[in-house]
Amino acid sequence: MNPGKWERNKYVGVSLVGKTLAVMGFGKVGSEVARRAKGLGMHVIAHDPYAVADRAKALGVELVTFDKALALADFISLHMPLTPSTSKVLNDETFAKMKKGVRIVNVARGGVIDEEALLRALASGTVAQVIYPFLFLCPRFYKECLLIGSWGDYELHFCF
């Protein structure tokens, strides 16, 4: 809020009802996020090469390919471990496959996103917003960041 002026539109969110959430990593945490998102009226798809189809079906979640998840998602929630195959899995090539204005919640390790590519995707509008567990982005790109949680050595910031 600026002195004497309330910029309400700056702080208006986005409705989740009817939006598509792609859960990337459908383990214990990813499947719980999916369950809760369904309760908020979201269409939930998931990608995990090790996911059990019956478990996804029981939650009303469609298992899809990595590329299909990227193409269909309005929101992406990352829950994958950092391994050689997931290191920088979100990069210039994968950002180009996403809808313009996608929102990303990264609760995985920082290394699953190529941070320089993320900055380019944010600047181009491909990624509208990101919740990221590290302060890397805030001083370099955003004007405002809010600390929304901390766990041990980790801090979770919402930057806009």
The predicted-structure confidence for 91-133, as pLDDT tens digits, reads as follows 999 999 999 999 999 888 778 898 889 889 988 999 998 887 6
| Per-residue pLDDT at 1 exceeds 50 | no
Residue 98: which of 80, 131, 81, 120 has the closest Cα? Answer: 120
User: Where does CATH 3.40.50.720 sit in the chain?
Assistant: 14-69, 80-160
- Residue percentage of the chain with pLDDT more than 90: 57
Cα–Cα distance for residue pair 81/79, rounded to 1 Å:
7
State the pLDDT at residue 144. 59
Q: 80-160 has which CATH code?
A: 3.40.50.720
Q: E strands of the chain, at which residues?
A: 20-24, 43-47, 62-63, 75-78, 102-106, 127-132, 145-151, 154-159
Q: E strands of 2-159, at which residues?
A: 20-24, 43-47, 62-63, 75-78, 102-106, 127-132, 145-151, 154-159
- Domain covering 14-69: architecture: 3-Layer(aba) Sandwich (3.40)
